[in-house]
Structure 1
Amino acid sequence: MSPVFRHSYSNSGAVNAVFTLAKEYGFYDEVGVEVELVEYPRTSDALKGALRREVDAATCPGVCILNEAMAGHDPVNVMNMEDENVFGMIGARHIKTPADLKGTTIGTFGLGDQNQVVISRALTKLGLDPKSDVEFKTDYPDRAALLAAVDAGEVSAICFTVPTPLMARRMGLPILLDFRDHPEPYQCGAVVTSRRYADENPETLVRFLAGSMKGAKLFQEDIEAALPHLAACSKLDDEGVLREVHGLFAIALRTLTPSLPPLRGVATDLEAALGRPLGVDLTALVDDSFVAPAARLAKR
């Protein structure tokens, strides 16, 4: 009987198509693991679920890893999914220049969440003080609600990773700052488990990663197979946007081995947003030892 592995992710993350693709095509069965995929409203909820042992791992960004480490938990990044900054700051239609943001309300999930950490940095780059020039509204359940809020002019700006900026541009909303214009290491997505789970269940974890690698390979090589999964995971139906997103993630998935620089980039921004050192050992939060055995298993 195959071991069971429960993997969680947010309800609107395009890169999660890798896991649904792997499950549909039987890749997890091929490597000897039964996988259950669980959706949570947000990536931070998904990681909390993993650390509470409701599930075994989560797809989440660097800020979630750092927040949980600061809270005394033991998250560890065991496979990279997106290690460059693919955030974009999206404005409402009435925002014509970055200066128009002064004195307005910006939508976010709350202090310490990755979208607010990045939008604080974006505001600083645009010459605004995130602590005094704007207010933050935080009562939004998910990415779709925030996009609807900026589209309606309820908030003046939001900040998200692709595909949201691509969809926003199609909707006629201005992209006030696109971090992809200046590529930098930045942990926007990773497979994260607890140190305890990784130590207690290394073989099951390797099997899950191996099946996911097979899903990533199919994602990269067969866009027609990937598109339905991209649509379902991102909650988008614009084929042009989905094809562009596929191209971006097909490149990102070439680097599955986790490394420290992308997480360090996020840590720098989180320290700036919080105004204090994080007080965590970043090296303890990245473990690249599972990728090589998973890759060997995936090739069998």
Structure 2
Amino acid sequence: MKTLPQVRLALGLRSTAQSLGVIGRDAGIFRAQGLDLRIAREETAGPEGVRGLIAGEYELAEFGAVPLVQAVYEGHDPVILLAAEQTNALYLLGAAHIDTPRALAGGRIGVLSMPGQTGVSAAAMLDKWDLSRADVELLELGTYPAIYQALQDGRIAAGVLTADYGIAGTIAFGLRKLADLGEELRFQGPILATTRRYASAHPERVQRAVAAYVRTIALFVEQPHRVLDSMQRHLGFLDHEQALAVHAFYARRFQHRPYPSEAGMKRVIDLYAPSYPRPALRLEDIWDRSFLDRSLAMTGPRPTTSSQG
């Protein structure tokens, strides 16, 4: 059997939004595109995820846009290839007894990391609610499972979690949605990234990977029976009822034409522009759309979602 070129992927989080590489690998889509996809790391969110990508520990990564934009401002070369969602399906979820933002006073909110997308989003919402850091402590817990468990154990009053955990936690133990962070902040949702160095050295592999992601999104939306097992294994906490509800939620969100939101990326660029002496980044500084353009041209027209929102 011919040995296929290997491509290593890191996943920022265990979430459906960052499961497409796993699903595509399990379904044989990457092999059909001529790639041996290996999952190099999981739950390597925030700045650590970008650091490993820049260092060459893996060639592809699924994570949030915030740490990637920070890294480009700092002179590094990560670049966005596509985005299954335009905004985050990310929520600030309160325990069952927390019914309003003011009820958070004196409590703690679990986040993955302070400088990453969850910490930045939680801090922005506290500012909107006029709650200071003296009122509410942000607690770094590193992984979504850790945040989810801390909510169940009563060690935190609220946590930043994806829709997977929100849907399951509402069913299982009455989590309350305090804020839809995607709608409130409109930051670009999770992205697939590589580095410009790798894309320049191996354009054919990047092209094949992007084509595999486009086909995996179509599989996810159109053939749920082929993806539910991968979802459940990857997340590790969904029962069948929860998995069906989570799949239905993301099947409505995932784009057949997975272009990032230009407005959402610009919001992240503008958020960090005052912190760096260099001129504000342009969209083309953080996004190479050429691989996705070619993939979509080869697969033909599909229903589209605007990339402007």
Q: Is the 8 A contact 2:7 2:36 kept in 1?
A: yes
1:51 maps to amino acid: I
Counterpart pick for 2:267 among 236, 253, 265: 265
Matched, 1:135 2:137: yes
Q: Measured at CA, do residues 255 and 183 of structure 1 come closer, stay the same or move farther in structure 2, by a change above 3 Å?
A: farther
1:105-254 alignment, distance < 5 Å? 105-129=108-132, 131-138=133-140, 140-170=141-171, 171-179=173-181, 182=183, 185-250=186-251, 251-254=253-256
1:85 Cα deviation from its structure 2 partner? 3.3
Structure 2 stretches lacking a partner, 5+ long: 301-309
1:26 Cα deviation from its structure 2 partner? 2.3
Pairs aligned (count): 293
1:225 Cα deviation from its structure 2 partner? 1.0
Q: Measured at CA, do residues 207 and 285 of structure 1 come closer, stay the same or move farther in structure 2, by a change above 3 Å?
A: same
Q: Is the 8 A contact 2:79 2:196 kept in 1?
A: yes
Q: Distance in 2 between matches of 1:278 and 1:206?
A: 34
Q: Distance in 1 between matches of 2:42 and 2:23?
A: 18
Three-state SS of the structure 1 residue aligned to 2:40 is strand
Q: Measured at CA, do residues 86 and 265 of structure 1 come closer, stay the same or move farther in structure 2, by a change above 3 Å?
A: farther
What is the root-mean-square deviation of aligned Cα atoms in Å? 2.4
Q: Is the 8 A contact 1:43 1:60 kept in 2?
A: yes
Q: Is the 8 A contact 2:95 2:174 kept in 1?
A: no
Question: Residues 124-162 of structure 1, C-alpha deviation per residue, up to 9 Å, x if partnerless?
Answer: 333323x33222222x23111111112222112111222
Q: Is the 8 A contact 2:217 2:254 kept in 1?
A: no
Q: TM-score, normalised by structure 2?
A: 0.85
Query: Relative to structure 2, which stretch is displaced further, 61-70 or 110-119?
Result: 61-70
Q: Is the 8 A contact 1:85 1:186 kept in 2?
A: yes
Q: Measured at CA, do residues 157 and 23 of structure 1 come closer, stay the same or move farther in structure 2, by a change above 3 Å?
A: same
Q: Distance in 1 between matches of 2:60 and 2:137?
A: 34
1:5 Cα deviation from its structure 2 partner? 1.4
1:84 Cα deviation from its structure 2 partner? 1.6
Q: Is the 8 A contact 1:267 1:278 kept in 2?
A: no
Q: Distance in 2 between matches of 1:116 and 1:159?
A: 8
Q: TM-score, normalised by structure 1?
A: 0.87
Q: Measured at CA, do residues 71 and 111 of structure 1 come closer, stay the same or move farther in structure 2, by a change above 3 Å?
A: farther
Three-state SS of the structure 2 residue aligned to 1:66 is helix
Structure 1 stretches lacking a partner, 5+ long: none
Q: Measured at CA, do residues 51 and 145 of structure 1 come closer, stay the same or move farther in structure 2, by a change above 3 Å?
A: same
Q: Is the 8 A contact 2:199 2:206 kept in 1?
A: yes
Matched, 1:88 2:86: no
Q: Measured at CA, do residues 82 and 89 of structure 1 come closer, stay the same or move farther in structure 2, by a change above 3 Å?
A: same
Question: Residues 254-296 of structure 1, C-alpha deviation per residue, up to 9 Å, x if partnerless?
Answer: 231234322223345567xxx8468551420011111022234
Q: Distance in 2 between matches of 1:111 and 1:277?
A: 18
Counterpart pick for 1:18 among 20, 35, 38: 20
Q: Measured at CA, do residues 126 and 240 of structure 1 come closer, stay the same or move farther in structure 2, by a change above 3 Å?
A: farther
Q: Distance in 2 between matches of 1:46 and 1:277?
A: 21
